[in-house]
Structure 1
Amino acid sequence: MNDQTRPKILAVDDEDFNLDILGEILDEAGYQPVLAVDGREALALLELHPDIEVIVLDRMMPNMDGMACLAALKSDARWRDLPVIMQTAAASHDQVRQGIEAGVFYYLTKPYAADILLSLVRSALDDARRRADLLGDVRRQRTVLGLMQHGIFRFRTLEEARNLSVFIANCFPDPERVVYGLSELMINAVEHGNLGITYAEKTRLLLEGDWENEVVRRLNAPDKIDCYAWLTLDAGPGAISVTLQDSGAGFAYQSYLELSPERATDPHGRGIATARLMSFDELTYEGNGNRVRCIVGLTNH
């Protein structure tokens, strides 16, 4: 793989030793590392390398620390959606929560193993690319779907969930806001609800690079061939709602409604919280957790 095809990862750390190790890990894993010693140099390098896809950002640095650099990124439309992995020596929940509230959904506490770093980089890249693909599809497929008032749909596979999320998002006044969160909830209905992949199992499968293969294996099991999740769309004069129902036994959804410091270093586990925070005005689980209702108020748009 040459440099033109290797994803660029910006690594920012004021400690030369740490920065060298970061660069080596990323390079050996097939990425093209771009190295900076503080936030100011990181922002300057972004101007020179606009194709950077992920930033691994140290929190505590001189000149411009990680939080100040993050604020600058979020204030610039060009870099606002770049995924950031915040790395720090402090394992304080308060610091992790501050980072999450500032827009960091991936957190890495020092010292860390190379496989944990790389799993977070892979997850950040996959999430960013999936979001970009969904937005591209939404923009290409805008139609008169905003006139739809009611619809019932079923889906079974990850591909069906993705395609249906794009279709349904176009029924909302701001489809680009809705599509990523809706896609995350629909994927959750397939993998966790219908197929029974637990949180711990998904963590292991992602670290092993075998998650999608396991989803396909379970979808092909005889008892899952006719196992569907259902989506109901209702559009009224004041709001549009989507209700998702899977065939599973439910789960303890309460702890997933917020971005948790305890899960900040995991390669997944952010979908429900980001859907609630970014995509919908209301998100409510019902019953045992295998049914979720999402609402966007039309008066807000």
Structure 2
Amino acid sequence: MPHKLLLVDDEPFNLELMAELLQDAGYETQQAENGEIAWDILAREGEQYSTVLLDKMMPGMSGFDVLKKIKAEPRLEFLPVIMQTAMGAASSVQEGLAAGAFYYLTKPFSRDMLLAIVEAAVGHWDRYAHFRELANLHVDALRHLRSATFRCRSHREAQAVTALLAKTCPQPERVATGLFELLVNAIEHGNLEISYEQKSQLMASGDWEQELDNRLRSPAYAEREVAVEFVHQGDRVQFAIEDMGPGFDWAYYQDAEPASLMNSHGRGILIARKLSFDDLHYQGKGNRVVATVSLA
């Protein structure tokens, strides 16, 4: 079943152009010509959509107003919202990201850029939906788990560890989304030393999956694992994730404003910080991160 996207823009030409490009790529689309109509659709059937593409500057209810309503609604708060704007100013981008936007597209944008960002947003939604389903499984015994250590190398293994450990928390799907992002960062950018720029190029050329598999098989990285330490202490749960890579300048990403977190490690860390954990901080050379969930 194709993913359904909500396109919101007060310019009919922009709506038609986006709809044509996205439908050609296999997506189902619904159009809304202003913020009021968009919010009415989302309030009634928001769960049907995988991503919203939202023009920021519209008369009446602006795109930013719609974004705030989406993030304030528990049913929709994890729905990825891609903001579109003609303004490239850092303050404009920062405002949207801080409010929960998944990404920013600055007009005019290319077909390839549009499809790449939508694919990333839809993938994020799919992971959230997957973990939400897993969270409904009956695993009461995990509520009594006090400490554990896991090791993983691949995305598949990371997904299994995430699905299990997230169930130790009151809102497992919320925790799972951020925990998986941190594990993916540890695998890709840590153990396998793939930079954001390299990943972007590989995805654009269609060689990403093959390169990921090649590095996992390479003797240079074959012995590297990501360690996940779980500890339940009174009114909090902590996850410590440590990879065997060279680390990175974590202080920059720890303190940077959301507008600057669009490059290597940025979006995964932003999602984890803003949506999944009550506290998140890196240690040492940046190959160890501790994420905390309050149970209070």
- When the two structures are superposed, what TM-score results if normalisation uses the length of structure 1? 0.89
Q: Find the counterpart in structure 1 of residue 180 from structure 2.
A: 183
Q: Find the counterpart in structure 2 of residue 133 from structure 1.
A: 130
Q: Find the counterpart in structure 2 of residue 14 from structure 1.
A: 10
| Deviation of 1:172 (Å) | 3.0
Q: Find the counterpart in structure 1 of residue 259 from structure 2.
A: 261
Runs of 5+ unmatched residues, structure 1: none
Residue-by-residue CA offset, 1:251-282 (whole Å, 9 max, x unaligned): 11233335632455x79831112212222222
Spell out the pairing of 1:281-300 with structure 2 (5 A cutoff). 281-298=278-295, 300=296
Residue-by-residue CA offset, 1:142-193 (whole Å, 9 max, x unaligned): 3311222222221111111110011122233443332211111111111111
Match of 2:193 among 196, 207, 224: 196
Q: Find the counterpart in structure 1 of residue 50 from structure 2.
A: 53
For the pair 1:30 / 2:10, whether they are aligned, the reply is: no
Sequence identity of aligned pairs in percent? Answer: 38
Structure 2 Cα separation of the partners of residues 270 and 213 of structure 1 = 23
The 3 A distance-change label for structure 1 pair 33 and 228 is same
For residue 124 of structure 1, give the secondary structure of its aligned residue in structure 2: helix
| Deviation of 1:290 (Å) | 0.7
The 3 A distance-change label for structure 1 pair 78 and 203 is same
- Residues 203, 268 of structure 1: 8 Å contact kept: no
- Residues 203, 267 of structure 1: 8 Å contact kept: no
Which segment is superposed worse, 43-52 or 86-95? 43-52
Aligned residue identity for 1:132: A
Which segment is superposed worse, 70-79 or 101-110? 70-79
- Residues 97, 261 of structure 1: 8 Å contact kept: yes
The 3 A distance-change label for structure 1 pair 50 and 152 is closer
Q: Find the counterpart in structure 2 of residue 153 from structure 1.
A: 150
Q: Find the counterpart in structure 1 of residue 64 from structure 2.
A: 67
| Deviation of 1:125 (Å) | 0.3
The 3 A distance-change label for structure 1 pair 212 and 232 is same
- Residues 146, 173 of structure 1: 8 Å contact kept: no
| Deviation of 1:11 (Å) | 1.3
The 3 A distance-change label for structure 1 pair 42 and 240 is closer
Q: Find the counterpart in structure 2 of residue 166 from structure 1.
A: 163
For residue 7 of structure 2, give the secondary structure of its aligned residue in structure 1: strand
The 3 A distance-change label for structure 1 pair 28 and 103 is same
- When the two structures are superposed, what TM-score results if normalisation uses the length of structure 2? 0.90
Structure 2 Cα separation of the partners of residues 81 and 135 of structure 1 = 11
Runs of 5+ unmatched residues, structure 2: none
The 3 A distance-change label for structure 1 pair 80 and 294 is closer
| Deviation of 1:76 (Å) | 3.6
Structure 2 Cα separation of the partners of residues 18 and 149 of structure 1 = 53
The 3 A distance-change label for structure 1 pair 75 and 111 is same
| Deviation of 1:291 (Å) | 1.0
Structure 1 Cα separation of the partners of residues 49 and 74 of structure 2 = 15
The 3 A distance-change label for structure 1 pair 75 and 245 is closer
Match of 1:43 among 39, 44, 64: 39
Structure 2 Cα separation of the partners of residues 138 and 254 of structure 1 = 33
- Residues 98, 258 of structure 2: 8 Å contact kept: no
Match of 2:88 among 61, 74, 91: 91
- Residues 197, 264 of structure 2: 8 Å contact kept: no
For residue 124 of structure 2, give the secondary structure of its aligned residue in structure 1: helix
Structure 1 Cα separation of the partners of residues 8 and 130 of structure 2 = 27
- Residues 14, 38 of structure 1: 8 Å contact kept: yes
| Deviation of 1:30 (Å) | 1.8
The 3 A distance-change label for structure 1 pair 71 and 243 is closer
